[in-house]
Amino acid sequence: MLVWPTSAHHWRCEADREEITMAKDDRRRATMRDVAHRAGVSIKTVSRVVNGEPNVAEATIAKVREATEALRYLPDAAAANLARGVRDTRSIALLISAMDNPFYASIFRGVEEVATLRGVVVFAASTHMDLAKEAALVAAFMSRRVDGFVVVPAPGDHRGVADLLGTHLPCVYVDCAPEGIAADVVTADNRAAARTATRHLLAGGHRRIGFLGDDAQLSTAADRLAGYRDELGRAGIVPADELVELGVLVASDAEAGTARLLGLDDPPTALFASRNMAAIGAMRILKQRGLSHRVALVGMDEMDMSDLVDPALSVMAQDPRGFGSAAAQRLFQRIDGLDEAPATLIVPARLIERGSGEIRAPS
Amino acid sequence: MLVWPTSAHHWRCEADREEITMAKDDRRRATMRDVAHRAGVSIKTVSRVVNGEPNVAEATIAKVREATEALRYLPDAAAANLARGVRDTRSIALLISAMDNPFYASIFRGVEEVATLRGVVVFAASTHMDLAKEAALVAAFMSRRVDGFVVVPAPGDHRGVADLLGTHLPCVYVDCAPEGIAADVVTADNRAAARTATRHLLAGGHRRIGFLGDDAQLSTAADRLAGYRDELGRAGIVPADELVELGVLVASDAEAGTARLLGLDDPPTALFASRNMAAIGAMRILKQRGLSHRVALVGMDEMDMSDLVDPALSVMAQDPRGFGSAAAQRLFQRIDGLDEAPATLIVPARLIERGSGEIRAPS
DNA sequence: TTGAAAGCGCTAACAC
DNA sequence: GTGTTAGCGCTTTCAA
């Protein structure tokens, strides 16, 4: 980890630059009472002006404005909400696996897009796919009184989390269905997507198809594995366990897994990498071994550079930004009082052929 | 934008699943008074138990615990802080350009890494490099009483933002120095990095070197442009304005810019793409035109797939996650009361040679 | 070991 | 138009 150094020679000091003039005793933040005092009005009048309520004389408004500006008054949203007895804090929390995975970052973008339209702020944090961490974050944000949650669920029984949320705090899950509870979910048609990918590889003449996936406890991963097996079965192929590599979370896991698969006595001639990081790791190993143009590869999730690698990466493209928008929309429906049974929005993934997935099996 | 549909056939209803039993009148969240009432103790005693204060009888603790659990009591952090008259909300805000750019997502990761160690929550939002939006978000988070800010500054005069923050709310800027104010900053040695990149291309025999950069109002972009010009000058080359393409924010901007550069009468034989998205756009156009192995390219910012493209992308690698960690560390020093002149931490970028930057000029 | 009272910064109802 | 009173959920005195 990069450390902010304490020794002086690492940084450039800027003491000489002209500084902004600042009030001497700015320690305590100005309060409404301070403003009222300065403007010579009552505290309630200040409240009216600040909140744009009607029935205040122009002159009074001007006086109050002068005071708020001189004192750099900023309303305390927490206190206001408390007084208002309001549940609506105009903020929601987003819990995702890790922000530095572009797939989740895109979900954030989609959520934010919708939240911003509504003037709602998004608080984000990473669970790193740890259920305990997820629960802790839910509690942390609840005590900060968010209006709702969008969550990419970690593996494990979510009854505890649902319990925390109770009935009045809505939560929409994304990417993956939470284990053990009924809830609103936005997810890809993972099983169908895996079937499409597998069928595509089978059509290329492949019979030994490797599978790279993450934690099979996750519905997402399990569905993809099931789809892969479905399609092999339909082709009359008995799915071999040795061709399945699970627990792939980061690229290095995928590298190890791909290396193992390629080292088998009868190695796969094609791979389905069911996660963005899985595809990256697989490409890395294939490239190292000079197999990029020999072993077919279909990835999952679109990436910025999928079209630039060699061969270009064929993928089952999801729409993570769309996941985020849809989840946020549903969440706001719930916040607005929608009271119907939990539903799952299933978004189809689509095959994008770019080359890597169209490599044919050696004949 | 993907829309959560209202028609029924798009989603799967899950009314039949077994639901968790839930309290009937769960509308109002349980308060400390509710707990006190149920446990048959005073509100203060509940407070003591909840906060783990000493001097409570074991039996009382047990009663209170029972009540908190039965009522699903969750403390209201806002009210607690209000009562405590405390400025410390154990939360900070992170304002970045856009979350779906992996460079900024990595900054988030670095900030979160440090914040988590301290038990501090990170609230994130995107400014989209719009100063007005940045200021609005600063105000929004201030009224939510965060303890401090980490900000990737938008272009434009930051005196207004600094004014908002006042003297008591610390802010550390990342990636880019804010215009018009003295502040703590973590940034790469942008000028030196651009010089290194340019020198590297010059060493490959190139004399016509194109430059792709973003908004020159940003110190980051301006410094890189300056470094590029520095080095051309040292090589006795007069920097040509026609070889400079600014305002590159997203990949499509870079595509247009690269196309323009390649269409010049005397087109560049090498490119320095001073932003991750600039490099992606440049690669796309070079690939389209079959020039990937003819025109040299040095990018900036490391990407997941830099080693997988063809040719592999040479870059000036920054450490955005490190930026985030360092900025957060500095911020916490400030929150803890550090009172010294604003400083700038300059982190060197390093050249990673992978192929695209080592293509020699045609002789 | 426990509780009553006051008040954090603000808004709500009602007065004036 | 404007001010007064009460109280949001909690913590702090301080007393019992």
pLDDT tens per residue, range A29-41: 889 999 999 999 9
Interface check B304 vs A, CB under 8 A: yes
The spacing between the Cα labelled CA in A44 and the C1' in C13, in angstroms, equals 12
Per-residue HEC secondary structure of B41-72 comes to CCHHHHHHHHCCCCCCCHHHHHHHHHHHHHCC
Cβ pair B221, B188 in contact under 8 A: no
Q: Are A349 and A193 in contact (CB under 8 A)?
A: yes
pLDDT for A163 = 87
3-state DSSP assignment of residue A347: strand
Q: Which nucleotides of C are covered by protein (CB under 7 A)?
A: 1-5, 7-13
Nearest CA-CA partner of B195 in B134, B121, B272:
B272
Least CB–CB distance from B1: residue in A2, A82, A325: A325
Cβ of B76 within 8 Å of Cβ of A143? The answer is: yes
Say which amino acid occupies A332: F
Which pLDDT band, with edges at 50, 70 and 90, does B3 fall under? confident
* Nearest Cα to Cα of residue B345 among A250, A290, A199, A14: A14
Listed as ranges, the nucleotides of chain D within 7 A of a protein C-beta are 1-5, 7-13
Tokens of B363: 């002789």
Q: Please enumerate in sequence order all residues whose Cβ is within 8 A of that of B196, keeping only pairs 6 or more positions apart, or say none.
A: B316, B349, B351
For chain A, what percent of residues have pLDDT higher than 70?
94
What's the CA–C1' distance between B34 and C13, in Å? Answer: 24
Contacts of A217 (CB under 8 A, 6+ apart): A155, A156, A179
The answer to whether A96 and A129 have CB atoms below 8 angstroms apart is no
Check B2 against A168: CB less than 8 A apart. no
- A74, A127, A283, A308: best to mutate for the B interface, most B CBs within 10 A: A308
Comparing CA positions, the residue from A281, A139, A113, A285 lying closest to residue A213 is A281
Tokens of A111: 């959520």
Asked if the Cβ–Cβ distance from A166 to B22 is below 8 Å, we say yes
**Digit-coded pLDDT (tens) for A296-332:** 999 999 999 999 999 999 999 999 999 999 999 999 9
**How many other CB atoms sit within 10 Å of the CB of residue A96?**
24
Predicted confidence (pLDDT) per residue in B210-248, tens digit: 999 999 999 999 999 999 999 999 999 999 999 999 999
Amino acid in position B54:
P
Q: Are A273 and B248 in contact (CB under 8 A)?
A: no
Give the pLDDT score at B8: 38
Note which residues in 150-179 of chain A have CB less than 8 A from chain B. 159, 162-164, 166-168
Full strand arrangement of the beta sheet holding B314-317: B244-245, B209-212, B270-273, B296-300, B314-317, B350-352
CA of A80 to C1' of D8 (A): 9
pLDDT tens digits along A138-148:
988 888 888 89
Across B250-256, average pLDDT: 97
> How much is the pLDDT for B12?
56
Residues of A in contact with B168 (CB under 8 A): 26-27, 29
Q: Which residue is nearest to nucleotide C10 (CA to C1')?
A: A80
Average pLDDT value over all residues in chain A: 90
**3-state SS string over A242-305?**
HHEECCCCCHHHHHHHHHHHHCCCCCCCEEEECCHHHHHHHHHHHHHCCCCCCCEEEEECCCCC
Distance from CA of A265 to the nearest CA of B (A): 27
A residues 271-290 lying closer than 8 A (beta carbon) to B: 280, 283-284, 287
The share of chain B scoring above pLDDT 70, in percent, equals 94
Task: Write down the pTM of the prediction.
Answer: 0.88
